[in-house]
């Protein structure tokens, strides 16, 4: 049995650039957290139902892995894919906290897509898998490409590798389940202040270590203030030298090289 690592990410910065209908367009630096990952595998079973074996708080139909399966099935029309998931369950060893801004669900979905592509020899390119993954969630394409560091823009569909030294991070996740849609709604209502193109380009071209040396979470992350507004108990968990990831509730710190 082959095991696949499904890594967490943190957002070094996350800035809103505009709105596209109901969606916020962003520019963000995503980086992989090497020391934090779930482990996925296929395991034979005799039940023809789609089964995900793991410590999840949601039902199967709401799980990003199942949504990725539906999207992949729609795209490929593969009978072999259907048969695989009738004879095998997806086993997930969960280590990435949920509702935490670390991308666990998106990472699981991307890893599942790549697992199916490899096991079934579907021959799909990474760009095809990213397109399929975008149907599941905005962060999925980043995890499909497997870059250590990337600038992500649009609603998540534009992923550009950022060539820089790999850095080590530690994360801290308070026991606060945050709703990303709720935070974005508050941002749009009370904090909406998109950055201009020149600021966007400046941030995209700065190295991660320089961003963290020169700015704090209040500037780097447009979702920090609305998250604090909606979840006031977050204030109790702010620590020196830690930065806020995504819509939270996780904080991360750079471990000095």
CB 113 within 8 A of CB 133: yes
Tell me which H or E stretch contains 67: helix 64-76
Query: Omega of the bond prior to 249 within 30 degrees of 0, cis?
Result: yes
Q: For residue 210, give every residue at least 6 positions away whose Cβ sits within 8 Å of its Cβ, in sequence order, or none.
A: none
The DSSP bridge pattern shows strands 158-161 and 88-93 to be: unpaired
d(CA 218, CA 193): 13
Tell me which H or E stretch contains 19: strand 4-20
- Torsional sign, CA 228, 234, 236, 239: negative
Report, as residue numbers or ranges, the catalytic residues. Answer: 9, 139
Tell me which H or E stretch contains 228: helix 224-230
First to last CA, the chain: 35
Tell me which H or E stretch contains 126: helix 126-134
């Amino acid at each position: 049995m082959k095991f696949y690592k499904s890594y967490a990410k943190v957002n070094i910065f996350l800035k809103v650039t505009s709105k596209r209908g109901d969606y916020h367009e962003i520019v963000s630096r995503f980086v992989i957290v090497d020391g934090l990952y779930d482990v996925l595998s296929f395991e034979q079973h005799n039940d023809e139902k789609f089964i995900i074996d793991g410590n999840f708080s949601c039902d199967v139909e709401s799980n990003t892995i199942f949504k990725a399966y539906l999207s992949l099935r729609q795209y490929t029309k593969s009978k072999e894919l259907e048969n695989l998931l009738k004879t095998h369950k997806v086993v997930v060893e969960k280590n990435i906290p949920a509702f935490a801004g670390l991308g666990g669900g998106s990472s699981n979905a991307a890893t599942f897509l790549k697992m199916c592509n490899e096991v079934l020899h579907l021959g799909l390119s990474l760009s095809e898998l990213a397109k399929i993954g975008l149907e599941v969630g905005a962060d999925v394409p980043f995890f499909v490409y497997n870059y250590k560091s990337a600038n992500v823009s649009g609603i998540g569909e534009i992923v550009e590798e950022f060539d820089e030294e790999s850095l080590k991070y530690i994360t801290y996740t308070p026991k606060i389940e945050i709703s990303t849609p709720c935070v974005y709604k508050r941002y749009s209502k009370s904090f909406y202040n998109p950055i201009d193109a020149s600021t966007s380009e400046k941030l995209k071209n700065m190295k991660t270590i320089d961003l963290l040396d020169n700015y704090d979470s209040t500037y780097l992350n447009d979702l920090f203030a609305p998250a604090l507004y909606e979840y006031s108990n977050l204030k109790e968990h702010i620590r020196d030298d830690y930065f806020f990831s995504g819509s939270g509730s996780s904080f991360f710190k750079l471990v000095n090289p």
